[in-house]
A = this chain, B = another copy of it.
Amino acid sequence: MTRVTSQLSISLDGFAAGPDQTRDDPLGTGGERLHGWYMGGSGPRHPADEAAARSILEGNGAYIMGRNMFGPIRGEWEGDWRGWWGDDPPYHAPVFVLTHHAREPVEMEGGTTFHFVTGGIEEALEQARAAAGAADVNVAGGASTVNQFLAAGLIDELTLHVSPVLLHAGERLFDGVGDVRLEPVDVAGSPAATHVRYRVGG
């Protein structure tokens, strides 16, 4: 049975992105500080961060993301926006983008194809499951999309990469998700982040 997983980098005060997201600043003010553990510094990554970074794209047969994660365009599609990730996005799998505005699929290099789903999270999950086969479906973000899936009880495993920074504003994980059952099943840490994997529901 396909598992539905999600991994998010969040601040110690619970934000998955800073305020004032724009095309030039897609993570919002201060949001890039959430990913310091992933980007690394001048030297190699700490082994705990290296393992966490590797796990993000591992074992996934399909992805789901919110439209704000895919791009900065709101309302009707215009131009030929093809995501933030260049010609060869890191997903190498079908990516189902939640949107209110239909669009033909966009095929990229390396096996990534963006599909646009207008029927909501359950329809996106159905299509992603069909595409993933026996592999996992990963809800890539952002926070509001992950919150929708949590609220609907559709996530099986949530991994949080908690960066030791405070943002004080932005998109908050767990906003409005109700009483979700979570159990930590794995924890690892470095000076740059604490990585905790939770089993959800059940």
Contact = CB atoms under 8 A, between A and B. Distances in A.
Contacts of A193: 184
Contacts of A187: 187-189, 194
A79 interface: no
A44 interface: no
A126 interface: no
A53 interface: no
Instruction: Sort chain A's interface into a size bin.
Output: 20 to 34
Nearest to A172: B13
A179 B174 CA distance: 22
A183 B194 contact: no
Contacts of A188: 187
Given A14-B13, A174-B12, A188-B187, A182 B194 contact: no
Contacts of A168: 174
A148 to B, nearest CB: 15
Interface of A: 12-14, 162, 164-166, 168, 173-174, 177-180, 182-194, 196, 198
Given A164-B182, A166-B178, A166-B179, 13 more contacts: A12-B182, A13-B14, A13-B173, A14-B14, A164-B183, A164-B184, A166-B174, A166-B180, A168-B174, A184-B189, A184-B190, A187-B194, A194-B194
